[in-house]
Amino acid sequence: MNEENQVEEQPKPLILEKLEANHADALLAQDASRGTVVVVIHKDQVSAVLEYLKTDPELAYTFLVDVTAVDNSQMESELMQFDYARFMVVYQLYSFQGQCRLRVKVPVHENDLNIPSATGLWKSANWLERETYDMFGINFEGHPDLRRILMPDDFEGHPLRKDYPLRGRGERESFNFEKQNV
């Protein structure tokens, strides 16, 4: 018998079992290899899943730690895995009850940047989503006050997108200077 088969499998985390039982159709991928459980959720059901995670008495992910996004346009493997969705919105949740973390990722396509806002569930989502909008242009539907937060109000573009250069637009050397005849 092969040695590798005898390695005892880790018990499946409760969160994955419960999600599979209740929201199996929303679950696109799952991973628990680095100690933290990571689930990828379909965009249409993100509100329902987040509400479930927060209110289920056994899970009780009552603390929204962070909301951010990743522009995967230069990461081919990620693009292929999730049907060429350019952005991945990432929620970090924490459960005081189970003292464990959960990362919820939601693929968002570039031609439809809308995603339901989590401000109805957590007040902390307000500014975190504003920052994600500011930096990536993700449009959180139902957000009460979706304005830029770190960049000036009249700023154009979304700086953390991969096609936004580190130095370039808005930098001194990229202004059009009148060439003087010397």
Partner 1 sequence: MQSGLERATGEKMVLNFGPQHPATHGTLRIVLELDGETVLKATPHAGYLHTGFEKLGEHLDYNQYIVVTDRMNYLSPLSNNFGYVLAVEQLLGIEVTKRCQYIRILMAELSRLADHLLWLGTAALDLGAFSVFLYSFREREKLYSIFEKTTGARLTTSYTRVGGVLRDLYDGCEEDVRQFISNFPKALKETHTLLTRNRIWMDRTKGVGAISAADAVDYGLTGPCLRATGVAHDIRKAEPYSSYDEVTFDVPVGTNGDAYDRYLVRMEEMIQSCGIVTQVLDNMPDGSVNVEDNKITMPDKPDAYGHIEGLIHHFKIVMDGHGVQPPKGDHYCATESPNGELGFYIVSDGSGTAYRIRIRPPSFLHFQALPHMLEGGMVSDTVAVLGSLNVIAGELDR
Query: Where does residue 32 fall: left (phi above 0), alpha (psi -120 to 50 degrees), or beta otherwise?
Result: alpha
**HSE of 159, CA atoms in CB hemisphere, 13 A:** 14
- C-beta closer to partner 1: residue 39 or 71: 71
- Contact between 167 and 182 (Cβ < 8 Å): no
Q: 71 vs 116, which CB is nearer to partner 1?
A: 71
Specify the residue, 48 or 149, whose C-beta has the smaller distance to partner 1. 149
As measured in angstroms, the least distance from the Cβ of 178 to partner 1 is 29
Q: How far is the CB of 150 from partner 1 (least distance, A)?
A: 4
Helices (H), the chain: 3-6, 14-22, 46-55, 76-81, 125-136
Using CB under 8 A as the criterion, which residues of the chain lie in contact with partner 1 when the complex forms? 34, 36, 38, 62-66, 68, 70-71, 74-75, 77, 90, 92, 96, 99, 101, 103, 122-124, 126-128, 131, 135, 148-152, 159-160, 164, 166
* Minimum CB distance to partner 1 smaller for 11 or for 152: 152
The residue among 101, 128, 127, 129 whose CA lies nearest residue 116 is 129
Residue number with CB closer to partner 1 (44 or 169):
169
Quick one: 13 or 22, whose CB is closer to partner 1? 13
Minimum gap (Å) between residue 28 Cβ and partner 1: 16
Cβ-defined contacts of 24-32 (< 8 Å, 24+):
28/82, 28/107, 29/81, 29/82
CB neighbours of residue 56 within 10 Å: 15
86 neighbors 79 (Cβ within 8 angstroms): yes
CB of 64 to partner 1, least distance (A): 6
Quote the least distance from Cβ 139 to partner 1, whole Å: 19
CB of residue 182 vs partner 1: minimum separation in angstroms?
Answer: 35
Residue 31 DSSP class = E
